[in-house]
Amino acid sequence: MSMMDVKGNSNSSSSTTQSDEEMMGDLRRGPWTVEEDFKLINYIATHGEGRWNSLARCAGLKRTGKSCRLRWLNYLRPDVRRGNITLEEQLMILELHSRWGNRWSKIAQHLPGRTDNEIKNYWRTRVQKHAKQLKCDVNSKQFKDTMRYLWMPRLIERIQAAAASPATSVSPAATVSAPANNQHSISNSDVGTGNLVMAPHGINGNDFGVSHVTQSYTPENSSTAASSDSFATQVSPVSDLTTDYYNIPINRNTNPDYFQAGQVGYLESMISPPGIFNHGLDFQAMEHSNNQWPMDGGDTSDNMWNLEDIWF
């Protein structure tokens, strides 16, 4: 069973370009196979990226240029980072989304190794889900306030707690991501200026469920490394090509303007301006009264939504 089976060889797409249409004869769709991945990787290794339609032809792939591009950018690229979104990344997504809205690609530029697709999926599956549970719009003031005064602080607390006790580190990014230079170091002067933390109009959202952030990332525990039983024929959701198969080092970030998780300046800057979290909420007490905020990987979403009762 595959998406290809479902969508078949439909050639009714009105969005395809003319050159796509010309190729529509026996185009493949749906999940990529190992063979296709190899072809694409090998071709790009030799000839580089770009000119995706001709690339698809020359590489012997019966795919549209679009499809090749997407597969490369979202999955095969050497610096694509697999695995769970870290706390720091969640915080970053949250903050950047508050600034830019659904500008996923722009947000992704500041999260090395993460694709716009991944961030978009994250937002939709976690944040919007919670907004829905709260019966409010993700862009509503109510929801933003909840983000800003409840979940952001909790996230920061957890990041700091993790930093204080490395044995229970929650920051895979700190170990996986090791850019060499020129990260955007956020100074304390950013704090309270709206520069990064606590933007004037608040924070839109985050996954405070953080159910997947407590493990250190390894290829083995990558979320995409599971369920490899269908690997022989289909790879898309399961292969860990960037490590096991192709032995390509992960996460070679070159973006000079990105945030490095675990960077002290960043975390410090994430600490709220004085008093901003002190709106009569005792988070410690809340944590206790709600059966805490586990650091062991359990999904805390429900607990957090219990906090909602207190909040409202």
Residues that bind DNA (CB under 7 A): 1-7, 10, 12-20, 28-32, 50-54, 63, 65-67, 69-71, 74-75, 102-106, 116-118, 120-122, 124-126, 129, 209, 211-212, 223-224, 226-227, 229-230, 235-238
Nearer to DNA, 49 or 282 (CB): 49
Nearer to DNA, 226 or 264 (CB): 226
What DSSP character marks residue 128? Answer: H
The distance of closest approach from Cβ of residue 310 to DNA in the complex, given in angstroms and rounded to an integer, is 22
∠ CA(119), CA(190), CA(260), 5° rounding?
45
Per-residue burial over 223-242, b if 16 or more Cβ lie within 10 Å, else e, is: ebbeeeeeeeebbbebbbbb
Nearer to DNA, 89 or 118 (CB): 118
Nearer to DNA, 86 or 269 (CB): 86
The distance of closest approach from Cβ of residue 261 to DNA in the complex, given in angstroms and rounded to an integer, is 18
Per-residue burial over 159-194, b if 16 or more Cβ lie within 10 Å, else e, is: beebbeeeeebbbbbbebbebeeebeebeeebbbee
Tell the burial category of 243 from Cβ atoms under 10 Å away from its Cβ (0-12, 13-18, 19+). Answer: middle
The distance of closest approach from Cβ of residue 11 to DNA in the complex, given in angstroms and rounded to an integer, is 8
The distance of closest approach from Cβ of residue 212 to DNA in the complex, given in angstroms and rounded to an integer, is 7
d(CA 75, CA 61): 16
The distance of closest approach from Cβ of residue 52 to DNA in the complex, given in angstroms and rounded to an integer, is 3
Nearer to DNA, 65 or 172 (CB): 65
The distance of closest approach from Cβ of residue 218 to DNA in the complex, given in angstroms and rounded to an integer, is 15
Rg of the chain, C-alpha, whole Å: 21
Nearer to DNA, 172 or 267 (CB): 172
